């Protein structure tokens, strides 16, 4: 695979990306926490865009993949800013945002900040508010105190023997971006895909988010046997179907 291109932001930090030229609306893939732009879902979406002649962009947030930065320095604010910089400088016209897990939270932030640029949203195990509900609220008082005192906490990783380290700054910053407790003023079409065997982000997150969205065109697809990664062949096929359906709505 050829080397990615890089977008310089904040005068020094570089964001790695790969881009296809094509028709509008284009598609932008927003990766999950700790993932990278070369994952199965991002590549499948790129294949879909190529077959359909659509512009496509995938990239790594700061501290992820081939981009500059320290992973533990990242916050919801900083990663949202990465997404906005990429949208503003590397795409033209309306875009369909596809957000996986953390990316599903960031796509909401982007849609609220750049509503005129957003044609539609597709969430895959979207995880808005996870820093509050799935990290902080899951800790007992002793763990919360430990996290505040040390500035971080290590929790079990379902995909590795090494734990996941969550900085306190991520939790603190996340409070400014919570969406599940109030209406979300997004009016573009939204399709939320979520596995009912997801052990990381409860599938009820999708239905709660659907109830908060202002859009009159919100679809939720729950897949009984799918987990958080949503990367099995039949699940990837559902993602392609969601893209087909979104394009049909926009046409």
Could you read off the pLDDT of 190-231 as tens digits, one per residue?
Answer: 999 999 999 999 999 999 999 999 999 999 999 999 999 999
Residue 178 reports pLDDT greater than 80: yes
Structural domain contains residue 138 = no
Query: Is the pLDDT assigned to residue 161 strictly greater than 90?
Result: no
pLDDT, tens digit, 9 for 90 and up, residues 6-41: 999 987 899 999 999 999 999 999 999 999 999 999
Q: Which one, of 176, 62, 191, 175, lies nearest residue 125 by Cα? A: 191
What per-residue confidence (pLDDT) applies to 58?
98
Q: Is 177 annotated in the active site? A: no
Q: Which of the following is catalytic: 64, 177, 194, 228?
A: 228
Helix ranges (DSSP H) in 53-115: 76-90, 102-113
- Supply the range of the domain harboring residue 95: 5-129+179-250
Indicate whether 159 pLDDT > 80: no
Alpha helices, DSSP H, located in 18-101: 40-52, 76-90
Whether 159 maps to a domain, the answer reads no
Q: What is the DSSP letter of 163?
A: P
Closest CA to 226 of 201, 190, 191, 189: 201
Quote the pLDDT of residue 222. Answer: 98
pLDDT in tens, 115-141: 999 999 999 999 999 999 999 999 999
pLDDT confidence bin for 158, thresholds 50/70/90: confident
Give the C-alpha separation, 121 to 98, whole Å.
Answer: 6
**Residue 73 belongs to some domain of the structure:** yes
Terminal alpha carbon distance of the chain:
34
Q: How far apart are CA 222 and CA 124, in angstroms?
A: 10
| pLDDT mean over 158-164 | 83
Cis before 179 (ω within 30): no
CATH number of the domain that residue 12 is part of: 3.40.50.1820
Q: What is the per-residue pLDDT across 19-28, written as a single tens digit (0 to 9) for each? A: 999 999 999 9
Q: Are 186 and 216 in contact (CB under 8 A)?
A: no
Mean of the per-residue pLDDT values of the chain:
96
Number of structural domains (the chain) is 1
Would 206 be classed as within a structural domain? yes
In the predicted model, what is the mean pLDDT of residues 48-71?
Answer: 97
56 DSSP β-pair partners = 20, 27
Task: Answer whether 45's CB lies under 8 Å from 58's CB.
Answer: yes
Kindly tell me if the per-residue pLDDT of 246 is higher than 80.
yes
| For range 166-194, the mean pLDDT | 98
- What's the pLDDT at 189? 98
In a domain, 106, yes or no: yes
- Tokens for 115, please give them: 């509503």
* 198 given a catalytic annotation: yes
pTM above 0.85, yes or no: yes
Q: Which of 120, 203, 129 is CA-nearest to residue 171?
A: 129
Residue 156 has pLDDT above 90, yes or no: no
pLDDT at 134: 96
Helix, strand, coil tally for the chain in percent (to 5): 40, 25, 35
Catalytic residue among 33, 101, 129, 177: 101
Domain assignment of residue 67, yes or no: yes
Q: Would residue 216 count as lying in a domain?
A: yes
């Amino acid at each position: 695979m050829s080397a990615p291109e890089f977008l310089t932001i904040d005068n020094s930090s570089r964001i790695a990306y790969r881009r296809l030229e094509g028709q509008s609306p284009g598609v932008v893939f927003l990766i999950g926490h700790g993932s990278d732009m070369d994952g199965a879902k991002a590549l499948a979406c790129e294949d879909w865009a190529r077959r359909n002649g659509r512009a496509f962009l995938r990239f790594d947030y700061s501290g992820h993949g081939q981009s500059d930065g320290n992973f533990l320095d990242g916050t919801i604010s900083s990663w949202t800013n990465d997404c906005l910089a990429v949208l503003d400088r590397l795409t033209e016209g309306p875009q369909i945002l596809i957000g996986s897990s953390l990316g599903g939270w960031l796509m909401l932030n982007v849609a609220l900040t750049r509503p005129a640029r957003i044609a539609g949203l597709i969430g895959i195990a979207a995880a808005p508010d996870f820093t509050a509900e799935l990290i902080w609220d899951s800790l007992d008082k002793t763990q919360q105190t430990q996290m505040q005192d040390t500035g971080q906490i290590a929790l079990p990783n379902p995909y590795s023997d090494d734990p996941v380290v969550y900085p306190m700054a991520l939790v603190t910053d996340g409070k400014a971006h919570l969406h599940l407790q109030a209406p979300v003023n997004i009016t573009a079409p939204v399709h939320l895909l979520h596995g009912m065997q997801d052990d990381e982000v409860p599938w009820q997150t999708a239905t709660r988010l659907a109830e908060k969205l202002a859009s009159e065109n919100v679809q939720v697809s729950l897949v009984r046997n799918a987990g958080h990664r949503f990367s099995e062949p039949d699940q990837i096929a559902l993602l392609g179907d969601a893209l087909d359906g979104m394009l049909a709505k926009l046409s």
